[in-house]
């Protein structure tokens, strides 16, 4: 288990636990270790671990992490065995691409998520897998997806994920060759130091990687030409793909710096060593080795990212920019001004936040509409963006975030405000509840917008139909 307070668990294991239950007991103790570590992280953020929204977070995080890394406990060989079927076709000596069923087999658009080994945040994977049968053997198509998922549900980086899926399928099927293309998208989560007011912040880091065996070993082979020919309408450009043996950009994960990728980021200063140790314990409980070269700096990077959501941190950075210069003496009884029929709006204000239930990021855009009351002026876009960031960089739920933004803006304008937040939640996607590309919308309606249906409809129509929150 490798963490503080585990001696009582070790004592129970060493003193008469039924051998037949050891595996299940080990899983439960691993979850208990993760729960304890998550409590340490929450306390390090200054959170009240007995608060209603937080109280069950350690349990939810432990369950999500164990489910999301279940691949460590699965064997791809077990999946392939028993799923190979005889299928007459071209003999290997026949002119053509292969034996078995006679040609290239591709399964496209398999959606997965995986946890990045550099920062422990989930990243999205769209997998295209193909193979050329031989020996008159074909594999049940669903097993291609299941084998890929075994390796996706581990701490990963794109090229190794592609290589491991390719190798496992080649060993299990023994085909003429296997080809893998992965489209990977990593959320580019900003930190409060560099991007708090940067509305041009890039939301995603994307990469295309490949791996091939057998007839796909040569990246210039005709078989790769066939493979890409069947993917061309997916918008995949062969020239943008990293091939096996190539050099994948080490800055794939936004937590890494191109200039300092060789630096041991476990030595980052200013981090609570107890929090760093807690993350190391989580890695060990999941079945990983925290001393593995690629994971040495991961606990520090995760803690550094998590500290973006420390309450005092964001309050200090934005208090002046939000409240500075606001003259509350201008408040009136909320009567509308001369342009009482004009709906002012700001749309697509980006935000980033952290789900307080699962400690996983969600991000999106906020749309704000309002009327101007007597004695008030339109609010600067930069001020609205600061308010959105102020409430985003906290442990949050989307409904509360939307309400807090509306309640903060309302007294600055006279009370007639509507706020719509659209967000994509990695906690929903990583747990299989939402499909990639889906998002959630929440609203808060105050003052005139709650009774003036035409005004509300006019504002909603002004929201772009293609939201800027959409990922790749």
pLDDT mean over 54-68? 93
Confidence band, pLDDT 50/70/90 cuts, at residue 57 = very high
Asked whether the predicted pLDDT for residue 164 surpasses 70, the reply is: yes
Q: Are strands 417-425 and 361-370 parallel, antiparallel or unpaired?
A: antiparallel
Asked whether the predicted pLDDT for residue 460 surpasses 50, the reply is: yes
Residues pairing with 106 in the sheet:
130
Note the pLDDT of residue 340: 59
Condensed to tens digits (0 to 9), the pLDDT of residues 96-151 reads: 554 445 588 999 999 998 999 999 998 999 999 999 998 778 899 999 999 999 99
Condensed to tens digits (0 to 9), the pLDDT of residues 228-275 reads: 888 876 677 777 776 655 545 456 888 886 434 444 444 455 899 999
For the chain, give the mean pLDDT. Answer: 80
pLDDT mean over 356-383? 87
Note the pLDDT of residue 135: 79
Note the pLDDT of residue 329: 38
Asked whether the predicted pLDDT for residue 313 surpasses 80, the reply is: no
Condensed to tens digits (0 to 9), the pLDDT of residues 322-340 reads: 555 444 433 444 455 445 5
Residue 25 to residues 18, 35, 123, 230, 270: CA-CA distances in angstroms?
Answer: 9, 15, 30, 47, 37
Note the pLDDT of residue 328: 40
- d(CA 334, CA 247) in angstroms, rounded, equals 61
Note the pLDDT of residue 23: 58
Condensed to tens digits (0 to 9), the pLDDT of residues 397-437 reads: 999 999 999 999 999 888 899 999 999 888 766 555 445 55
- d(CA 311, CA 309) in angstroms, rounded, equals 6
The percent of residues in the chain predicted with pLDDT above 70, rounded, is: 72
Sign for the pseudo-dihedral over CA of 135, 140, 143, 148: positive
Q: Which residues contact 57 (CB under 8 A, 6 or more apart)?
A: 38, 42, 49, 356, 357, 358, 359
Note the pLDDT of residue 447: 93
Question: How many other C-beta atoms lie within 10 A of the C-beta of residue 374?
Answer: 14
User: What secondary structure does DSSP assign to 268-337, as a single string?
Assistant: -TT--HHHHHHHHHHHHHHT--TTSGGGTTHHHHHHHHHGGG-HHHHHHHHHHHHHTT--GGG--S--B-
């Amino acid at each position: 288990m490798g963490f503080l307070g585990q001696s009582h668990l070790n004592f129970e294991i060493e003193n008469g636990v039924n051998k037949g239950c050891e595996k299940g007991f080990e899983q439960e103790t691993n979850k208990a270790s993760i729960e304890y570590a998550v409590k340490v992280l929450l306390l390090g953020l200054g959170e009240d671990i007995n608060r209603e929204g937080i109280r069950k977070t350690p349990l939810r995080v432990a369950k999500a992490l164990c489910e999301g890394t279940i691949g460590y406990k699965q064997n791809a060989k077990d999946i392939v065995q028993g799923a190979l079927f005889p299928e007459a076709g071209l003999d290997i000596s026949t002119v053509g691409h292969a034996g078995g069923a006679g040609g290239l087999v591709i399964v496209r658009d398999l959606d997965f998520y995986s946890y990045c080994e550099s920062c422990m945040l989930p990243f999205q994977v769209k997998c295209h897998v193909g193979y050329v049968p031989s020996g008159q053997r074909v594999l049940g198509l669903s097993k291609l997806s299941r084998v890929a998922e075994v390796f996706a549900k581990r701490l990963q980086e794109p090229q190794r994920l592609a290589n491991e899926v390719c190798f496992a399928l080649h060993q299990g099927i023994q085909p003429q060759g296997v080809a893998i293309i992965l489209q990977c998208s990593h959320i580019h989560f900003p930190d409060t130091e560099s991007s708090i007011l940067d509305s041009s912040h890039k939301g995603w880091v994307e990469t295309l990687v490949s791996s091939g065996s057998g007839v796909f070993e040569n990246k210039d082979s005709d078989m790769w030409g066939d493979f890409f020919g069947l993917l061309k309408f997916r918008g995949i450009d062969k020239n943008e793909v990293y091939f096996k043996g190539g050099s994948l950009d080490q800055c794939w994960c936004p937590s890494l710096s191109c200039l300092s990728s060789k630096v041991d980021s476990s030595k980052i200063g200013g981090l609570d060593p107890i929090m760093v140790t807690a993350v190391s314990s989580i890695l060990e409980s999941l079945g990983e080795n925290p001393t593995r070269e690629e994971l040495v700096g991961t606990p520090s990077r995760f803690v550094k990212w998590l500290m973006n959501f420390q309450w005092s941190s964001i309050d200090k950075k934005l208090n002046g920019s939000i409240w500075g210069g606001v003259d509350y003496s201008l408040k009136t009884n909320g009567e509308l001004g001369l342009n009482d029929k004009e709906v002012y709006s700001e749309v697509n204000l980006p935000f980033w936040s952290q789900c307080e239930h699962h400690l996983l990021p969600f991000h999106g855009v906020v749309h704000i509409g309002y009327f101007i009351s007597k004695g008030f002026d339109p609010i600067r876009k930069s001020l609205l963006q600061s308010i959105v960031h102020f409430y985003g960089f906290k442990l949050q739920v989307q409904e509360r975030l939307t309400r807090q933004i509306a309640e903060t803006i309302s007294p600055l304008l006279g009370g007639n405000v509507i706020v719509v937040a659209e967000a994509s939640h990695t906690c929903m996607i990583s747990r299989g509840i939402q499909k990639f590309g889906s998002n959630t919308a929440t609203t808060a309606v105050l003052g005139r917008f709650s009774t003036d249906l035409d005004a509300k409809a006019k504002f909603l129509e002004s929201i772009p139909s293609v939201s800027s929150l959409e990922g790749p």
